[in-house]
Structures are given as C-alpha cells and as structure tokens.
Chain A
C-alpha cells in the first residue's frame, strides 16, 4: 500500500493520469481519437519534439537551460542541406555532418555558460538571437523545397500505413521514427547505465560538491549542451525528411513547447532531477494536445490560448508539488535541528 502511494506521488504518475484523461476527453469529443490513422499521425508528430526534448532533458538535469536549440538546429540543418545539395551517396554522411556542426554550435553555448558561469538563460537568449541573425542575415536562408537526392530512400520508406475505414484518410509512419527510439535509448543508457550519467546528475544537484569529489564540472556542462545541440539538429533534419522541405522559420518558438514538455514530465529547472519516462510522457501529453485541438473543435484563434493555459496548469502542478515537498523537508529539518540542539543542551 505504501509503495503504491509512493508511486502515485511521482510526477510521472500524474502525467500519465492527465494524459489518459486527455485521451478520453478527445475520444468523447470527436470519436476519432482511437482510430488507427489518428494514432499513426500522433506517433509521427512525437518524432521532432521527442528528439529535442531528450537533449533538453540532459541540459536541465545538468543544471543548465538551453533556449537556443531551435535556432541552432535550423542553422545546422540549413548548412547540411546546402553542403550536400548534389550528394547522392549514403544518407549517413549528412546526418554525421549535422551532428558535428550542431555539436560544435552546442559546444559554443556550453563553453560560454560553463567557463564564465553566466546565467544560462541570458547566454542562450543571446546565442538564439545570434543563430537566427546569422541564419537569416549572413547565410540568407531561403526555403528549400527539394531535398538532396540521398534522402530519397529515407523519405519514401514507411514503417506502416494505416487507413481509416470510415473516411478513407490514410496516414503513414515515417521510418525516422526509429531515430526517435534510438535517441531515447541512447540517452537513457547514458543517464542510467554509465558513470557519465551519474556525473550529470551530480553536477546538476550541487556544483560545489560535484567539484569537490573530483568531477570535471566544465566538461560535463559543455557535453550536456553538445548533446542538446546534436538532438536539435537531428530533430530538425528529421522534420525536413518528414515534411519533404526545409523552412528557416519552421522551428521558431518551438523552445517553449519543448521546455514545457520536459518540465511537466517532472524535471526541475534547478537541476539534478528528471527522468526519461517523465519526459516521454510530457511529450505525449503536450503533443497530443497540440495535435488534437482540431479534433476537439477548438477554433484556430483559441488554440494558442488553450495550449498556454493547459501548459500553465501542468507546470504549476509540478512546481507546486516540489514547493510543498521542499517546505515539508525544511519543516522536518527544523524539527531535527531542534532535537539535536536540545540533546546538545543536555
């Protein structure tokens, strides 16, 4: 009984509960939710924010904050698509190129934050402005409507195709869904099964004590930003593959959505906390909602307001719980302090 209570108290349980309720509401409203083609569409919609959220999660756990990743990814993908314009070999090479470029850009973020110990919000706000500025002002990015030929195979491979028997609408699951699963697996392995992952948690929990036990704080923080950059680049390249085109402003303003997903999943902004499961549930919750506003007959103009309100409610639930827990904790500490001082007096 006690164990169940403990599980129920976790943010993941809350997230799961809200997601299930949301599923039910959408189903009751539209009757279209549990159709195969809608579920396929949803799975396809999770790909981009899901990959981004994994990078964001790592930065959050390390005690940092990155809001520049959509700009960073857009820049990296634009570079890749222009460099490999006429390339017809294996699609692996462009992916590697994106990973290297976005990793380097992420490293820039990380070095500035970790070396000077600046507020990460201000630094990434500045680099976001920098990346958008360079993308539009210096590289003069335009929409690319024809992707390099090397991606043709990836674009035309689908894992499965589902057709709605009622209205004949069919939807397919692109094969880049496998990349999402691979990235989740890699990040989960890094965080839970390696020493490196424990170090990320340690740095996020308390920088000073992490430094004292001999962890290379600078390296860990920089690596977290690199992972965030790589994830953003891969995510936006996947987006281009799914959509079949590239638009420089496609990811504009996406950072807020992704951060909200990670936070609703129980990750704290002060670092050291956060789970893969929670983040995945957060992605499912927010992205399902974003995708289903049409199914629920919410007018277009109201959608931004609706998403914002639900995000505030979700974030405040998580935040309020941590606030209450910390208050309870400080209450316990005060009691124990009183006991120790009393025993000292004796």
Chain B
C-alpha cells in the first residue's frame, strides 16, 4: 500500500516533470491576468476576453504554420505578405461581384468562393516558397523574406497603396459571428486548426518525418525520405494557414491594405519559441504554442490598457520575453546535462 502511494507520487512527479513547461506557461498566463486585473478592473470581463480571443486567432494561425517550418529546420517570414495579399484579393472579389445589398444566397456563394480561393492562393504562395527553398537551394529565411517583398508588392499593385474598404457588411457580420454570443468564429477556427496540426504532428507519419528532417536532413535523405516534397508541403500548409488568417483579418477590420500587421511576423515567431519549440529545428510543441498565444495576447491587451504607454512598449516586452525564455531554456538544458 505504501509502495503504491509512493509510486503514485512518483508518477505525479514525473508527470509534473514531463509537462513542467506547460505548467510554467499556464502559471505565467495566470500571473499576467491577475496582475492586470488589479491594474485595470475591466481586464477580466467577458467582453474583454472575447475581444482578446478575436484578435488572437490571426497571428496564432500564422504561428502554427511557422512552427511547422521551424520544426523542419527553416522559417517562414512571408506570412504577413500572404495574409495581406489574400485579404486584398478577397476584398476586391467581394467588392466587384458581391457588392452591398446582394441576396443572401449570392453572399453564401461569395463567402465560399473567397474562402476557397484564399486557401488556394495561399497554397500557391507556399508552393513558390517551397520550390525556391528546395529546388533552387535558397536559404529559407532569404527566400521567404524576398517572397514577402513580392507578395506585399502584388498587394500594393492591387490596392494602389490605399486601403480597400466598403466591402459587404453582411460578409463582415458572418465572419465576426460568435457562437452563443461568446466564442468568436475565428477562435473556433484556430482551435480546429490547432487540433488538426497536433494530430498531424503526433499521430501522423508526417510529423515524425518533419522532426527528422529538422534534426538531420542528410540522414533522412539517406533513409529514403523525399525531403523536397515534405518541405514543399510544409510551406504550403504554412501559407494556407496564413491565408486563413488573412481572410479572418479582412472580416475583422473590414478593409484590406498592403501594410497591415507589420509586427505580426515577429509576434508569431515569438509565440512559437515561447511555446517551447526548438529554434534549431526538430522539436515542436503545439499545446505550448496555444497557451503562448494566449499569453502574448494578454500582454498586448494589457499594454494597451496601461495609461500613457505607447504600443511600441509591446515590442520591448516581447523582445525581452523572447530572449529571456531562450536564455532560461539554455540554462535548464545545461543543468540537465550537468
């Protein structure tokens, strides 16, 4: 009996040790919330939490995609370019073919067409990224940085440097619809995508292969894996998720512009690293990423609520957090190995 208790305690401890990282993340999230509810009473109201959930989905979706790329040993910096491009294209389509006051049936078709079209364009952008990286051998960072330039450039041509507004208000209403009046549709999409990516990483061969490529690409090639094909697919998934984010962004802001969300890219990478993904590739944590995106959104909202604080303060906090978490991880790893 005593032994059982001891064993159970050990199990609890080992569980704790295994999920230690998640625990730290949850505690820090709670800490941010508690501190902020003292600073501002409105922080933990339902309305505020709902608006946080709404804003979160956009860069959290991009972070999911970027995580896949980082696990495969690369990175995707073109997510914002893809999102803005898709948003501009969808906005133009809606403006031209499904203007204000069209019938609800037509709007339903418009919604489906733009959604599917967005994802298809996302996949195409990802394909271009993947081909540049694998077939031409450009380092992922350079390739996606330059395609970001190109996608933003195309968006610039489409929008002529201004913002496109005046899209169908019904469309905006549908995208901003909330389940039971509380759960925004964007948050639901994010949860669904998270579950799908988690299954892909944990239960499907794809995830294992991706981790292997991230750890040692030469070994996987020798083992007979088709590296190029897998990497291209990864970038396609990432770009499709960014396209989804762009679509949601169009709905939330009800306008499209070539330079929306300049800081989202850094923010998404921060979420990935904060979530416990190894920046050197090979290891990814989907659940950690989900919790980390809550933390980042809580901090963003908190900073906008502090009086006299500019939004640039956010950048400082994020950078310190990112460097801090990486150094902390480094010390832990060093400690573990003695």
Given A256-B146, A269-B141, are A323 and B315 also a contact pair (CB < 8 Å)?
no
Q: B150 in the interface, Cβ–Cβ < 8 Å?
A: yes
User: Do B146 and A315 have beta carbons less than 8 Å apart?
Assistant: yes
Starting from the known contacts A133-B314, A256-B145, 7 additional A-B residue pairs (CB-CB under 8 Å) come to: A118-B279, A123-B323, A130-B319, A137-B312, A259-B145, A320-B136, A323-B137
Bound CA–CA A302/B279 (angstroms): 35
User: Do B149 and A136 have beta carbons less than 8 Å apart?
Assistant: no
* Count of B interface residues, CB-CB < 8 Å: 45
Given A122-B322, A132-B315, A319-B139, are A304 and B145 also a contact pair (CB < 8 Å)?
no
Contact pattern, A 209-224, Cβ under 8 Å of B = 1, otherwise 0: 0000000000000000
Task: Pick out which of these stretches binds chain A: B22-30, B119-127, B151-159, B201-209.
Answer: B151-159
User: Do B146 and A305 have beta carbons less than 8 Å apart?
Assistant: no
- Return chain A residues, CB-CB under 8 Å to B279: 118-119, 122
Q: B238 in the interface, Cβ–Cβ < 8 Å?
A: no
User: Do B153 and A133 have beta carbons less than 8 Å apart?
Assistant: no
A→B interface (CB under 8 Å)? 65, 112, 116, 118-119, 121-123, 125-130, 132-138, 140, 256, 259-260, 263, 269-270, 300-309, 311-312, 315-316, 319-320, 322-323
Given A116-B326, A129-B266, are A304 and B139 also a contact pair (CB < 8 Å)?
no
Bound CA–CA A128/B115 (angstroms): 34
Residue of A at shortest CB range from B138?
A319
Q: B320 in the interface, Cβ–Cβ < 8 Å?
A: yes
- Return chain B residues, CB-CB under 8 Å to A132: 312, 315
User: Do B315 and A137 have beta carbons less than 8 Å apart?
Assistant: yes
Residue of A at shortest CB range from B321?
A126
- Return chain A residues, CB-CB under 8 Å to B139: 269-270, 319
Q: B147 in the interface, Cβ–Cβ < 8 Å?
A: yes
- Return chain B residues, CB-CB under 8 Å to A270: 139
Q: Measured between C-beta atoms, what is the minimum distance from A62 to chain B in Å?
A: 16
Q: Measured between C-beta atoms, what is the minimum distance from B289 to chain A in Å?
A: 15
Residue of B at shortest CB range from A299?
B157
Given A119-B280, A137-B310, A319-B137, are A312 and B150 also a contact pair (CB < 8 Å)?
yes
User: Do A304 and B149 have beta carbons less than 8 Å apart?
Assistant: yes
A/B interface sample: 26 pairs, CB < 8 A: A112-B327, A119-B279, A122-B322, A125-B269, A126-B266, A126-B318, A126-B319, A130-B316, A133-B312, A133-B313, A133-B315, A133-B318, A137-B316, A256-B146, A259-B142, A260-B142, A302-B157, A306-B153, A308-B149, A312-B132, A312-B143, A315-B138, A315-B143, A319-B136, A320-B136, A320-B137
User: Do A305 and B156 have beta carbons less than 8 Å apart?
Assistant: yes
Residue of A at shortest CB range from B147?
A312
Bound CA–CA A155/B266 (angstroms): 37
- Return chain B residues, CB-CB under 8 Å to A127: 319, 323
Q: Which B243-290 residues sit within 8 Å CB-CB of chain A?
A: 263, 266, 269-270, 273, 279-280
Residue of A at shortest CB range from B315?
A133
Residue of B at shortest CB range from A121?
B141
- Return chain A residues, CB-CB under 8 Å to B145: 256, 259
- Return chain A residues, CB-CB under 8 Å to B239: none
User: Do B156 and A304 have beta carbons less than 8 Å apart?
Assistant: yes
Q: Select one of B137, B150, B311 contacting A308, CB under 8 A.
A: B150
Q: Measured between C-beta atoms, what is the minimum distance from A288 to chain B in Å?
A: 18
- Return chain A residues, CB-CB under 8 Å to B317: 133
Q: Select one of B142, B153, B266, B273 contacting A307, CB under 8 A.
A: B153
User: Do B157 and A305 have beta carbons less than 8 Å apart?
Assistant: yes
Bound CA–CA A260/B313 (angstroms): 30
Instruction: Name the residue in B136, B319, B320 with the highest tally of chain A Cβ atoms < 10 Å from its Cβ.
Output: B319
Bound CA–CA A256/B81 (angstroms): 14
User: Do B319 and A316 have beta carbons less than 8 Å apart?
Assistant: no
User: Do B319 and A300 have beta carbons less than 8 Å apart?
Assistant: no
Instruction: Name the residue in A135, A301, A315, A322 with the highest tally of chain B Cβ atoms < 10 Å from its Cβ.
Output: A301
Q: Measured between C-beta atoms, what is the minimum distance from B39 to chain A in Å?
A: 18
Bound CA–CA A328/B138 (angstroms): 17
Bound CA–CA A322/B154 (angstroms): 29
Given A121-B141, A256-B149, are A138 and B136 also a contact pair (CB < 8 Å)?
no
Given A259-B145, A304-B156, A319-B137, are A122 and B315 also a contact pair (CB < 8 Å)?
no
Bound CA–CA A164/B99 (angstroms): 52
Q: Measured between C-beta atoms, what is the minimum distance from B74 to chain A in Å?
A: 10
Q: B160 in the interface, Cβ–Cβ < 8 Å?
A: yes
Residue of B at shortest CB range from A139?
B312
- Return chain A residues, CB-CB under 8 Å to B161: 300-301
Q: B83 in the interface, Cβ–Cβ < 8 Å?
A: no
Bound CA–CA A93/B160 (angstroms): 45
- Return chain B residues, CB-CB under 8 Å to A315: 138, 142-143, 146
- Return chain A residues, CB-CB under 8 Å to B147: 308, 312
- Return chain A residues, CB-CB under 8 Å to B319: 126-127, 129-130, 133
Residue of A at shortest CB range from B158?
A301
Q: B330 in the interface, Cβ–Cβ < 8 Å?
A: yes
- Return chain B residues, CB-CB under 8 Å to A118: 279, 326, 330
- Return chain B residues, CB-CB under 8 Å to A306: 153
- Return chain A residues, CB-CB under 8 Å to B326: 116, 118, 122-123
Q: Measured between C-beta atoms, what is the minimum distance from B121 to chain A in Å?
A: 16
Q: B231 in the interface, Cβ–Cβ < 8 Å?
A: no
User: Do B138 and A316 have beta carbons less than 8 Å apart?
Assistant: yes
Q: Measured between C-beta atoms, what is the minimum distance from B318 to chain A in Å?
A: 6
Q: B75 in the interface, Cβ–Cβ < 8 Å?
A: yes
